[in-house]
Amino acid sequence: MRVHEIRELNNDQLYEELVKAGRELMNLRFSAATNQLTNT
């Protein structure tokens, strides 16, 4: 997501993006801990 796209979001949309990013981070950490990551 580009900076200008983020600036156009309202508070609810920003919160939604924050939650999605947190979930993705948790999934990546879990994958790294269980050695399920692939090199891309």
Predicted confidence (pLDDT) per residue in 1-40, tens digit: 899 999 999 999 999 999 999 999 999 999 888 887 677 6
Does this model's pTM top 0.75? My answer is no
The rounded distance, in Å, linking the Cα atoms of 22 and 10 is 18
Kindly write down the DSSP assignment for every residue of 17-39, as one continuous string. HHHHHHHHHHHHHHHHHTT----
What is the distance in angstroms between the CA of the first residue and the CA of the last residue of the chain? 20
Give the pLDDT confidence score for residue 8 in this predicted structure. Answer: 97
Residue 40's closest CA among 31, 15, 3? 31
Phi, psi (5° rounding) for residue 9? Answer: -80, 145
Predicted pLDDT of residue 40: 66
